[in-house]
Each structure stands twice: as structure tokens, then as C-alpha cells.
Amino acid sequence: MSFDLVFFGGTGDLTWRKLMPALFQAFRHGKLPAGGRILAVARDERSDADYRQFIRERFVDVDSSKRPSDDEFDRFASMLHYRRMDLSQPTDYAGLKSWLDERGADTVVLYLATSPHLFPVICEQLGSAGLNGPKVRVVLEKPLGHDLSSAQEINRVVRSVFSEQQAFRIDHYLGKPSVQNLMALRFGNALFEPLWNRQSIANIQITLAESLGVGTRGDFYDRTGALRDMIQNHALQLLTMIAMEPPSTNDADAIRDEKLKVLKSLRPFTPASVARDVLRGQYKAGTVEGKAVPGYLDEVKVPAGSTCETFVALRTEVQNWRWAGVPFYLRTGKRLAARDAQIVVNFREVPHPIFPGTPRANKLVIKLQPEDGLELHLLAAKGAGQGDALSPVSLDLDFDKAFPTDRVGAYERLLLDAIAGRLNLFVRSDEQEQAWRWVEPILDSWAQDASDLKTYAAGSWGPPAASAMVARDGFAWAEEQ
């Protein structure tokens, strides 16, 4: 199958930092269909050779095991092309169309790796140039909108040019191997499903913690904040996969229908419940992994006195028969104690304890990163005498060890899926809009008054109030258990 993959924003950060290295890995693993061309488009004038050199120089930043040898890079780079385009010029789109038509590849993937404010204009121009035929797919990078109405506007324009089957909205968390394993765990194994409900589960915690700060992206981040950057998309997508009903098939729409139902079942926020169940924080100076780091307000390009949140913790419920009354806690933050993304499923305690000592319940930890694995925490008798307290032990499964040669990175997976036309791991417009609808009352409340913003020391697990929020229900975050 021949394909043409076009990156709008071809010299931007996302393209050289994530997309090109991911494509190179796909190439190295022999997974990139032969006969493909990769075209970068951007504003400035360059030759193909210049562009190849531009990417080659940037590959030195890629971690060493993933870096190509000169020869490997040359073979990969022979697929790379470059084209200057002014994204507001119809003639430039006509030129692109001729370039693509001349070859007539089986599939054309147009990846919008630009700033999202350009999406509407690019889509409209693509439509006018006739670059929306049945073999064309469009990939849209987050952030898709800033709130519900801007997301709806982007979707309106996208839908006026492309069908839903042609629109591939990226949430790169869905491409992470651990997230695929979540589907496998739930729907490829009969073991857990009977326990996956309010009768057996006490609470579920989703933590997406980062130890990094905002780096040099202070201006972008300050317009975004943790709620829009991580909760509206990544954390909610994970929640849908944990909470969804078994889909009838493994088809994209069967899965996305079930995810949408979860989003629609989330308890809606009111101003009172935002005040009670949502907490925002901003990091102050502190020490992360042994290094002193500045506070958010001292990061480059962050406006003085900003009240942008770098941390969010919230409590919600999925209002249906399976989950009624089970708290779902979501938490994310920059400059936390560790880079650690995980889902913890805390099971209920035994109904009648016969062993002495504090009863500690079972939990299943789904580790997303940095490790990718599963831990099942059990209580065992440690060879002790009758009447002694039980000890916690865990059954550990490390997917990197279990499948040492088959690990595929998130962007690699998603790019290959876009080329192959598999929509399962992409977000449908109604899901995305429903997620915005759900976070909107939080955005509205926060916009009224920022006096609830807490601070936390860089290198901690966030404001202490986040622990109090969970403790109110009689629970504790995983690291405090």
C-alpha cells in the first residue's frame, strides 16, 4: 500500500521532537509500509536536502538507543521531502494537490501539527482545493479547542470538509502500550470483569504526575493550565477506558460509543461541587529529584501574578448501575515528586476480617509510565504463625520484559494506525465535545474567582488539600497508603 504523509507544521517542535523519531522507529521496525513518502510543509524556503539535514541534526536529541546510524538515517531520509507553503494561499494548496496527484498514492494522510488556531483555515483550504477525497485522512493534534464552543467550531469546519471516518483526533495517551493493555486486561481476560463494579471496587485513582515544569512553554501553558492540558483529554480518556461497558466488537465506533456513554454519565459539576470536589494548585520553588527548581511564577514567559493552575485534583462519580457511589479521583500536576502515570483500582476490604492487624485491601495498579506494567497487591501469610498479621505482597508484570521486542511508542502506533485507517485509538468529535461540556463548569467557576488557588512546593505530591479531599471519603492516595 503506497501512502503520502504530509505534515503541516513540518519544522515545528512536535514534528521533529515526536513525529519524525516515531516514524523512524516504525521504519526501523519494518512497520512503515514500503513505497511511502513523507512531506513536510512550512513557511520558509528549503530543499529536500536541507530538510533532511534539519531532521538529522535534531535526531541527536533522541535517546541513544533510538538514534539512527548514518546509513540508517540516509535510508529513512530518502522518504523525506519538503515543500514551502503559505497556508493562506489557495495556489499553494493547488500545488500540493498536483504534487500528490502526480504520484496517486493509495492513501494520503494530512497531519495538522500546527497551532490549532490554523486548523479551520487549513481545513477550508484543503476542501476548496479538493484535498478531501475518500483516500484522504486528516490528523488533528491537541489542543482541539479551548472550551466547548471553540471545540465545536473546529469540529464544524472539519465536518464541513471531511467525514467523521476521515478525521483522526489524536490523544497520544491512547497510543501508549499500557493503555492498549488496559483494553486487553478488561476485555481479553475473564478474570477481572466480574469484580469490575461497585460491589468489589472501593475507589479508582488516576494519577498523571510529571516531575518536569513548564520548561520554555510558559506562554502556551499559561493560556492552557492543567485542566485543559491533561484532564479534559488524557485523564478523561483513561477514565472512559476503565469505566466503559464491554463494547460489542473491537471496532472504532463500538468502542467510542461506550466511551461516550461514560462521559455522559459523569456527575455534572455545579458551582458548589466545583468548590468541594475540584482543587487547583500552582508550584512554588522546591527541589525535584535532588535539584533546586524555580516556582511557576519565575519560569520564563509566565506573566507576573498568573493564577494558572499547574495541578488539579478532582473527585467525580460515574452515575450508572456499575459504578454508582464509587469515587473516581483524577490528579495531574507539573513539578510533582516523580514522573509517574498510573491507575490504581482499590478493591473493597474483606467483609469480615479474621486476621488481626489493620485490614489492608487489595489493589490493582496499572502502571502507564515510566514503567509499563501491572501490579496486583495481595495479602499473604509470610510463613508466620497462626494469629499473626498478614503482609502485603505484589504480583508484578512488567510488559517491557514480557514483550521485549514488540514495544511500540505512542506516536509510532498512532501514525501507523492513521496510515492504515484504524480509528480505534482516535477520539470522535462527540466524545471530545462531551469532555469539554463536563469540564466547562469548572472553567466557569475558576474564571469568576481565583482565590481558591493553592500552592505546593515543587517536588511534593501537590497541595495538602488534595489528600484531605480523598481522606474525606475515608481513602488515601496510593503513595500515602
Which residues make Cβ contacts (< 8 Å) with residue 190, sequence separation at least 6? none
Name the minimum Å distance from CB 211 to ligand BG6: 10
Q: Which is nearer to ligand BG6, 18 or 259 (CB)?
A: 18
Q: Which is nearer to ligand BG6, 76 or 436 (CB)?
A: 436
Q: What residues are paired with 318 via a beta bridge?
A: 266
Q: Which is nearer to ligand BG6, 247 or 409 (CB)?
A: 409
Does 86 appear as a known binding residue?
A: yes
Q: Which is nearer to ligand BG6, 142 or 360 (CB)?
A: 142
Q: Which of 4, 229, 277, 417 binds ligand BG6 (CB under 6 A)?
A: 229
| Cα–Cα distance, 102 to 105 (Å, whole number) | 9
Which residues make Cβ contacts (< 8 Å) with residue 69, sequence separation at least 6? none
| Cα–Cα distance, 474 to 31 (Å, whole number) | 49
Does 198 appear as a known binding residue?
A: no
Does 480 appear as a known binding residue?
A: no
- Give yes or no for residue 340 binding ligand BG6 (CB under 6 A): no
Per the omega criterion (within 30 degrees of 0), is the bond before 143 cis? yes
| Vertex 66 angle, CA 63 and 72, to 5° | 135
Task: Determine the angle formed by the axes of helices 148-161 and 429-448, rounding to 10 degrees.
Answer: 160
Spatial CA neighbour of 307 closest among 384, 223, 366, 364? 223
Supply 5's cell numbers.
504523509
Q: Which is nearer to ligand BG6, 235 or 364 (CB)?
A: 235
- Give yes or no for residue 412 binding ligand BG6 (CB under 6 A): no
Supply 23's cell numbers.
516514524
Cβ neighbours, 10 Å, residue 277:
20
Name the minimum Å distance from CB 386 to ligand BG6: 47
Does 377 appear as a known binding residue?
A: no
Q: Which is nearer to ligand BG6, 269 or 411 (CB)?
A: 411
Supply 458's cell numbers.
515543587
Name the minimum Å distance from CB 339 to ligand BG6: 8
Catalytic residue among 29, 81, 117, 234: 234
Spatial CA neighbour of 364 closest among 229, 175, 200? 200
- Give yes or no for residue 210 binding ligand BG6 (CB under 6 A): yes
**Is 117 part of the annotated catalytic residue set?**
no
Residue 479 is classified by DSSP as G
Does 257 appear as a known binding residue?
A: no
Restricting to residues 148-177, name those near ligand BG6 by CB under 6 A: 172
Closest residue to ligand BG6 in the complex (CB): 229
Residue 237 is classified by DSSP as H
Q: How many residues bind ligand BG6 (CB under 6 A)?
A: 5
| Cα–Cα distance, 451 to 58 (Å, whole number) | 43
Name the minimum Å distance from CB 165 to ligand BG6: 25
| Cα–Cα distance, 460 to 468 (Å, whole number) | 15
Residues that bind ligand BG6 (CB under 6 A): 142, 172, 210, 229, 341
Mark the binding-site residues, compressed into ranges.
Answer: 43, 86-87, 142, 172, 176, 210, 229, 334
Mark the binding-site residues for NADP(+), compressed into ranges.
Answer: 43, 86-87, 142
Mark the binding-site residues for substrate, compressed into ranges.
Answer: 172, 176, 210, 229, 334
> Catalytic residue numbers?
234
